[in-house]
Amino acid sequence: MMLKSRLLAAQLPIAIALAAIGMLAVFSVDELGRAGRDILSNNYRSVLAAQRMKESLERIDSATLFVVAGEREKGEAQLKLQRPSCEAELRTQQGNLTESGEAEATLAVREAWDAYVEQLDALPAAADPKAHYLNHLEPAFFAAKHAADVVVTLNQDAMVLKSEKLRLDSRRFNTVTVVALLLSLLVGFGFSLVLTERAMRPLSVLGQAVRRLGEGDLAARARVKGPSDLEQLGRDFDAMAGRLQAYRESSLGELLQAQQSSQAAIDSLPDPVLVFSRDGLRQGTNRAGEALNLSEEPLRALLEKVRGHVLSGKGFYVPRGYEEAVRVGQVFLLPRGSPVTNESLAVVGATVLLQDVTRLRRFDELKNDLVATVAHEFRTPLTSLRMAIHLTVELAAGPLTDKQLELLVAAREDCERLQGIVDDLLDLSRLQSGRLELERKPVKVSSLVDEVIDAHRAAAALREVTLTAALGPFAADQQVDADAARLGLVLANLVSNAIRYTPAGGTVTVGFDGARFEVRDTGAGILPEHQKRIFEKFFRVPGTRPEGAGLGLAIAREIVEAHGGQLGVDSTLGQGSRFWFTVA
């Protein structure tokens, strides 16, 4: 059976209930009608017959009066007309005896009428019509009329009783109909509800299966039993779920395969690879990575730093040098971080590669040691060389020709440069090997700035550059916790660079805004691609005058970072640069 037929069938009980009520109503109305009809035919006919009989009696009586008065002809004509009609009405009444006592009353009418008729027949032969009328006819007339009155009253009383009964019956019928209507509607509705619910049950089974499938349970099946069209729908749904499950299983297989091969690919890498999710949780790693204890310091802190850098959207993390490598057991690992992005290029994770740089780091250490040793070894001969040239230039060893003096002055300048480079190299190697012990104590910002300005005033004047301090309103009393000598070196480096790379007429400003030290200049500025590299050792922007060895900013950064701060630059080509650093 189809769902439509079932739903129609479910309406049947209500329809049957309504039909039953209808039939009851028809029957009851019929009953009431019949009772009304009975009143009309049983009583009203009797009342009518008795009334008519009475009218005929009146007319017969007046006809006898005509005869008594001498109008015999007129009286007999009227008598001829009225006697049969009175007789006919009496017969009608005799054939309509319905009430108890009516038969006796009608018999009394018959006897009275017959007695009256007897006296009527005797009237023509009466010697004294008038006396006959008064003595015989008139009493018989009243007797017959009275008998007819009894029949009228009897039937009228019966009519009143019956109509009262009819009224009560119709009221009872109303009550019965209302009660039956309510009851049958209730029962019919109950049945309809049960049938509808039964017809709709397969739909709820199907609904549940659809919901489970929607929630990802691909094994959900409806297996509907019920109306043929719903069974068909259930079969179609089950077939669809089956195909979906098969597809999921096959795509899951492919996915697993793809995942296995990408896992195999990163497993084949000798260096540890770690993959982090957007919220910093580790999502995957290769075999080399699994062997690491990631919660051990300093590896944990390093990973934290690289992951934080990449996930905060700063792009790739590229280490600055081998000194960033951390020691894990016998090996040194150098981190590199790359962002994992989605289709809209938003960062959704980070990949960290820990490159084993043990050998390279050893080379770097050897190189640093070599540089340090060479610089150290250079210092003593360089000092005596400088002293010798100084003394010679100052003519302590006798007179010189102009040409000799010119050559020796140039040699003295180069010796000074060489001394600077050797000092820088030694500083750097000390910083990098961690041998530099900071002596931190509260230092007044204003004294740091004043000192550096005093030390560079002459150099600035020589290059016609204005050198000023720009301290914020409270900076005068502000203090930082720092190694005054080292931080002074950083400031000195930045200021001497600014003076060196600013053309005559420019300005160099040293400032402190409450959080950062700044050295601003109105010099040539630095190209964006050079801005990162100027902090590397020995890097010099191509085309600049060969005055330094490219070590100043590398040393400055080491010192600032040893203080837990950061050193950076904002620069626009042609407008100047702003070097800044913080102290933690």
Contacts with ligand ADP, residue ranges (CB under 6 A): 493, 497-498, 501, 521, 523-524, 526, 534, 540-541, 544, 548-554, 577
Least separation in angstroms between CB 284 and ligand ADP? 41
Mutual angle of helices 45-68 and 138-214, in 10-degree steps: 160
Nearer to ligand ADP, 326 or 549 (CB): 549
Q: Which residue's Cβ lies closest to ligand ADP? A: 548
Least separation in angstroms between CB 499 and ligand ADP? 8
- Rounded-to-integer distance, Cα 91 and Cα 110, Å: 9
CB atoms within 10 A of CB 172: 11
Least separation in angstroms between CB 442 and ligand ADP? 28
Nearer to ligand ADP, 142 or 378 (CB): 378
**Which residues lie below 8 Å from residue 431, measured CB to CB, with a gap of 6+?**
555, 558, 559, 562
Nearer to ligand ADP, 351 or 571 (CB): 571
Nearer to ligand ADP, 292 or 541 (CB): 541
Helices (H), 95-227: 102-122, 129-132, 138-214
Least separation in angstroms between CB 503 and ligand ADP? 11
Least separation in angstroms between CB 522 and ligand ADP? 10
**Which residues lie below 8 Å from residue 234, measured CB to CB, with a gap of 6+?**
202, 205, 206, 209, 222, 223, 224
Nearer to ligand ADP, 379 or 417 (CB): 417
Tokens 């999502």 belong to which residue? 283
With beta carbons less than 8 A apart as the criterion, state whether 467 and 456 touch.
Answer: yes
Most distant CA pair in the chain, distance:
219
- Rounded-to-integer distance, Cα 561 and Cα 583, Å: 8
Nearer to ligand ADP, 461 or 573 (CB): 573
Least separation in angstroms between CB 550 and ligand ADP? 4
Nearer to ligand ADP, 303 or 549 (CB): 549
Report the C-alpha dihedral over residues 178, 180, 185, 187, rounded to 10 degrees: 150
Least separation in angstroms between CB 516 and ligand ADP? 16
Report the C-alpha dihedral over residues 542, 543, 548, 549, rounded to 10 degrees: 30
Nearer to ligand ADP, 6 or 540 (CB): 540
Least separation in angstroms between CB 495 and ligand ADP? 9
Closest CA to 494 of 388, 579, 404: 579
Nearer to ligand ADP, 273 or 551 (CB): 551
With beta carbons less than 8 A apart as the criterion, state whether 581 and 516 touch.
Answer: yes
Mutual angle of helices 138-214 and 3-38, in 10-degree steps: 170
**Cα distances (Å, whole numbers) of residue 329 to 50, 289, 318, 326:** 140, 14, 23, 10
Nearer to ligand ADP, 136 or 540 (CB): 540
- Rounded-to-integer distance, Cα 124 and Cα 198, Å: 95
Least separation in angstroms between CB 545 and ligand ADP? 9
Least separation in angstroms between CB 551 and ligand ADP? 6
- Rounded-to-integer distance, Cα 82 and Cα 56, Å: 6
**Which residues lie below 8 Å from residue 172, measured CB to CB, with a gap of 6+?**
none
